[in-house]
Structure 1
Amino acid sequence: MSPKKVLMLGILLLVPIFLFLFLKGFGTNHYSLPTYYPAINEATESPIIRNGDTVFQKIPDFRFVSQEGKTVTQTNLNGGVYVANFFFASCQDVCKKMSAQMVRVNEAFRNTPQVKLISYTVDPERDSVSVLKRYAEMYQADPAKWLFVTGPKKQLYTLAQNGYKVSAMQAPGTIPNFIHSEKLILVDKEKHVRGIYDGTDPQEVDRLITEITVLLHSYQQDEK
């Protein structure tokens, strides 16, 4: 065998070893999700740094009503991570696609109490508690796991735009219609946004499911 062939064979034999070492030392054990939206100092228009670390914005507190007619606040989502989206019940296209993908997330973590879901209506004038309850039942949503909430329109839109940084507004015209984001947003225990996904794309939702698992694993590692 020529020296060139011996060298090539040696490289091929070493590749699996290097791959194993890479995955063990630098792969999933060290993979972490980004944190979105640094807090901004309004005076300097620059990110806020505290003790050498960037300070990130948190999803602000809110107070809405669920499909069960119960008050919902951030405390209902404490102790774990959650996935949020914005929709309206009479939406015939995008919202149905998003809700179908939210079902996938719900099923993937049905037995994981640290994962919850919350869907905010952008059409509170028509999406009453009873309407949300029927909509939730269509997707077999357990109210202990997946919340559908309504409340004052201004508060819902402000939360979407300033909290989650996604669009939510009533479209111009006489026919009631709404402009809202198609994104699913992953929020961690500290109420920081850790992932943004196209809620109509199954591959993006596959990534969401994987990254929820990564985030939960990071908490487990921190507890050891």
Structure 2
Amino acid sequence: MSPKKVLILGLLLLVPIFLFLFLKGFGTNHYSLQTYYPEIDSTTELPVVKSGDTVFQKIPDFRFVSQEGKTVTQATLNNNVYVANFFFASCQDVCKKMSAQMVRVNEAFRNNPQVKLVSYTVDPERDSVAVLKRYAEMYQADAAKWLFLTGSKKELYTLAQNGYKVAAMQAPGSVPDFIHSEKLILVDKGKHVRGIYDGTNSQDVDRLITEITVLLHSYQQNEK
């Protein structure tokens, strides 16, 4: 093997070590996540970062019903980090891409009870408990880990628009269709938004998985 190939192979083998040391910070995690502010750019659905403001974006309480017919509120998610998105079961394009990426997050943290996933329907008139249960089964979603929620359309849209600061509305026209965000949103144990990601982009979801790991590590450090 040529010296050049040996050098390249050596560098490739060192990448995981450097990544581990970066995330662990040689015992101290120096990579911290932002806490997003209430103002979101309506065109990009990304936070408008401001300095000197201590008011953080916090998800308000809600009360919906899961695919198991159980009532779910913010209290259900106490002491959990969770990833949220908005979808509807009959969506044939974007929602399937988002759900496939949510599966990746689910698999990455399948054995960690502190991480949950929450998918809110924007089509509650058709997405009944039974429909959501079938949809969940398509993605092998454990109801203890991944919640699919339905409820009042007004309350769902208000939560999306005023709580998560993302789009959710019925599209104009006679055929039922819906405009909703493609974002996956990371929420910490204090119900604050800590990350916003493109739910159709696998690389951005890689970043989400990494940042969940970082967030969990920060909690572990604080508990010591």
> Which category describes the TM-score, using the shorter chain as reference length?
0.7 to 0.9
SS in structure 2 of the partner of residue 30 of structure 1: coil
- Provide Cα deviations, 1:147-171, integer angstroms capped at 9, x if missing partner: 0000000000000000000000000
Partners of 1:31 and 1:37 lie apart in 2 by 19
TM-score of the pair, normalised by structure 1: 0.82
Task: Kindly state the Cα deviation for residue 27 of structure 1 after the two structures are TM-superposed.
Answer: 10
When the two chains are superposed, the root-mean-square deviation of aligned CA atoms in Å is 2.3
Aligned to 2:111: 111
Aligned to 1:99: 99
- Equivalent pair of 1:38/1:54 in contact (CA under 8 Å): no
TM-score of the pair, normalised by structure 2: 0.82
- Equivalent pair of 1:86/1:180 in contact (CA under 8 Å): yes
Task: Kindly state the Cα deviation for residue 58 of structure 1 after the two structures are TM-superposed.
Answer: 1.1
More strand by share: 1
Matching residue's letter, 1:170: Q
Aligned residues: 195
Task: Kindly state the Cα deviation for residue 57 of structure 1 after the two structures are TM-superposed.
Answer: 2.6
Aligned to 1:56: 56
Task: Kindly state the Cα deviation for residue 26 of structure 1 after the two structures are TM-superposed.
Answer: 9.1
Partners of 1:171 and 1:93 lie apart in 2 by 16
- Equivalent pair of 2:83/2:116 in contact (CA under 8 Å): yes
- Provide Cα deviations, 1:143-193, integer angstroms capped at 9, x if missing partner: 000000000000000000000000000000000000000000000000000
Runs of 4+ in structure 1 deviating by more than 4 angstroms, as ranges, are 22-28
Q: Does 1:177 align with 2:177?
A: yes
Partners of 1:120 and 1:34 lie apart in 2 by 24
Aligned to 2:120: 120
Partners of 2:120 and 2:60 lie apart in 1 by 14
After TM superposition, list the pairs within 5 Å mapping 1:68-107 onto structure 2: 68-107=68-107
Instruction: Point out the structure with max Rg over C-alpha.
Output: 1
After superposition, the Cα gap between the structure-2 partners of 1:172 and 1:111, relative to the gap in structure 1 and judged at 3 Å, is same
Task: Kindly state the Cα deviation for residue 29 of structure 1 after the two structures are TM-superposed.
Answer: 2.0
Q: Does 1:216 align with 2:210?
A: no
Partners of 1:147 and 1:178 lie apart in 2 by 21
Matching residue's letter, 1:78: N
Partners of 2:97 and 2:143 lie apart in 1 by 20
Consecutive unaligned residues of structure 2, counting only runs of 5 or more, are: 1-17, 40-49
Partners of 1:214 and 1:157 lie apart in 2 by 30
Matching residue's letter, 1:215: L
Partners of 2:123 and 2:94 lie apart in 1 by 15
Matching residue's letter, 2:192: H
Identity in percent? 86
